[in-house]
Chain A
């Protein structure tokens, strides 16, 4: 009897190993065949794993990403160059605990050639080695951590979105030049992105001669009442507030900022996610006058964006967000790369992505890859009401910005 459990466990291990190998085989076979297909000049195909959150707090972002992706494909015959695109969608969930296995799943059991998506930066950093080992391309369509294309850079990981500090440092420079040098209060949730946003802002603001008079980091996802922090802002003597929140926290913060009377005396500035997408209608009048920096707003006046907004709204019944554009551009750059590429392995696509040059037909305006992440225009935006609807109108073009070192 005593031997039985050991025996069973060992047998289980053997079985699990066999099952794992079996799961791997079709994957290997699939990518082998698609590479061969590309080379032989027959029906060329590329399989893409779109890994975006379909559950959890980021599900809203996942929906926008998926729509942007599908809209590009629908408008371009479902092809990148001559390659017919097959998309496999997987649920990233909220954390790396769900996101990393989702990426491994599309790589191994679905045998995809390219992975697109990832909202959570920790997930994007967590799959770095898996991506490098499989020599497949990952296009990060949201996650904004600087390290993804900085310290932890891999030749196989490219980004079509933004870096956290890229957006906030543009605001830092702007506020230092706008008469707020004497004092700005900075507030962002206590996690990696919040820290990067504040660091980027502070560095650029202080470089412009500004002084940060106070800083707060409310616990992420556990703070529902910002009154204590708002009192801190009031007593700090700040002339303006710089903030970064998203989702439910953005709604609560902006509404309470107005309720406690701060909006009248201390103007609110922020990283664009504060007022982007679905949070804006919920913030209602409290958001009026809030100014933010971002690489996109649906109000941009260029032909590519006008067409994008029109087709997007017609198909989905709401305006696009920056997230939709990021996924749209991920498809856009893959198309450009595969027009010239002769195979769909990671090294070939990576080399081709390096040569795509300026992406001049993006709804966000022209941008280029610089160190595998966008160098792009950052816009200063103000929330106004036009035609009964709140929008982020463009105040100023703050020029092309790189990922800060």
Chain B
């Protein structure tokens, strides 16, 4: 085991870095879908918006001021974008998933086209802030410092989201809305506000993830659909509306994307969806998805 771990340490670590980044991205998507039945296909575009913000403010050789500034602006922009998306989907609340998917897909297409208009179609690279832009030696293998830091930040964010959703009154309200929207409404809570708040925070996490992921993924047109697919896979594997599910799903996908591809390079493009298919066959509602509380 130690020999095996030594040989694959970099891949395992990298799986955690990618996994935590995916969690930050996917948790908002999962909560909005699980709670309000809104499938937000514009989630990837939010990520890309954050990535472009990071690329333009921080650029190739990032400074701390530029990087933190990009994070702050992305967070505010994400909150606003989430609010707008919530408003847009409000008239469709009683319509089918397809209508919502069409609306948010349209928003995603418009946003990605606007991003090209504003930032151009050249792919952009984003540097890590000073001090994190080098590599560290781990058991004789070099590993980028930024990714180590990302594991730490991702773990902290995951813990914070978990505590808020699991241990606070607001979190209880969110979970109750996931479980039974009508009952919460009957108790006198305006669940449109809950939806708007979750949408805003989820979108904020997506744009923040875009900035955080910049030094790994860069910013380019097309990245939005790549990460959207990863996030959807995480949500399906983890189960709708479950924070724990999103975390476990994201960490699994992180390891599959990293360790799985390193061990089975020939199956690299198949392995992700293979795992998805396996989960769908064995646990159709995802690893942590509750059985439907309300018969539909």
Q: Which of B7, B60, B122, B226 contacts A235 (CB 8 A)?
A: B7
Given A234-B141, A282-B122, does the pair A248, B218 have CB atoms closer than 8 Å? yes
- Which residues of B lie under 8 Å from residue A234 when comparing CB positions? 141
Q: Is the CB of B123 within 8 A of A224?
A: no
Q: Is the CB of A260 within 8 A of B142?
A: yes
Q: Interface SS of chain A: helix, strand, loop or mixed?
A: helix
Question: Which segment, of A96-104, A213-221, A371-379, faces chain B?
Answer: A213-221
Inter-chain CA distance A302–B139, complex, in Å, is: 50
Q: Is the CB of A227 within 8 A of B218?
A: no
Q: Which residue of B lies closest to A231 (CB)?
A: B262
Q: How many contacts between A and B, using CB within 8 angstroms? A: 98
* Cβ-based interface call for A334 (8 A): no
Q: Is the CB of A260 within 8 A of B143?
A: yes
- Which residues of A lie under 8 Å from residue B60 when comparing CB positions? 281-282, 284
Q: Is the CB of B135 within 8 A of A229?
A: no
Q: Is the CB of B135 within 8 A of A260?
A: yes
Q: Is the CB of B135 within 8 A of A261?
A: yes
Q: Is the CB of B61 within 8 A of A284?
A: yes
Contact indicator per residue, chain B 125-141, by CB within 8 Å of chain A (1) or not (0) = 10100000001000001
* Cβ-based interface call for B85 (8 A): no
Question: Which segment, of A251-259, A341-349, A395-403, faces chain B?
Answer: A251-259
Least CB distance, A76 to chain B, in whole angstroms: 30
Q: Is the CB of A228 within 8 A of B218?
A: no
Q: Which of A224, A278, A279, A283 contacts B226 (CB 8 A)?
A: A224
Chain B interface residue count: which class?
35 or more
* Cβ-based interface call for A24 (8 A): no
- Which residues of A lie under 8 Å from residue B30 when comparing CB positions? none
Given A260-B135, A260-B144, A282-B123, does the pair A224, B8 have CB atoms closer than 8 Å? no
Inter-chain CA distance A380–B222, complex, in Å, is: 32
- Which residues of A lie under 8 Å from residue B8 when comparing CB positions? 231
User: Would you list which residues of chain B between 193 and 219 have a CB under 8 Å from chain A?
Assistant: 216-218
Q: Is the CB of B142 within 8 A of A261?
A: yes
User: Would you list which residues of chain B between 1 and 45 have a CB under 8 Å from chain A?
Assistant: 7-8, 10-11, 14, 18
Q: Which of A248, A259, A278 contacts B135 (CB 8 A)?
A: A259
Q: Which of A60, A259, A282 contacts B144 (CB 8 A)?
A: A259
* Cβ-based interface call for A182 (8 A): no
* Cβ-based interface call for B57 (8 A): no
A sample of 23 inter-chain contacts (CB < 8 A) reads A57-B121, A59-B121, A216-B265, A216-B268, A221-B222, A224-B226, A225-B14, A228-B257, A228-B258, A229-B262, A231-B8, A231-B262, A247-B123, A248-B123, A248-B223, A251-B218, A255-B218, A261-B143, A262-B142, A278-B122, A282-B122, A282-B125, A284-B60
Residues of chain A touching chain B, judged by Cβ–Cβ distance below 8 Å, are 57, 59-60, 190, 216, 218-219, 221-225, 227-229, 231-232, 234-235, 247-248, 251-252, 255, 259-262, 278-279, 281-284
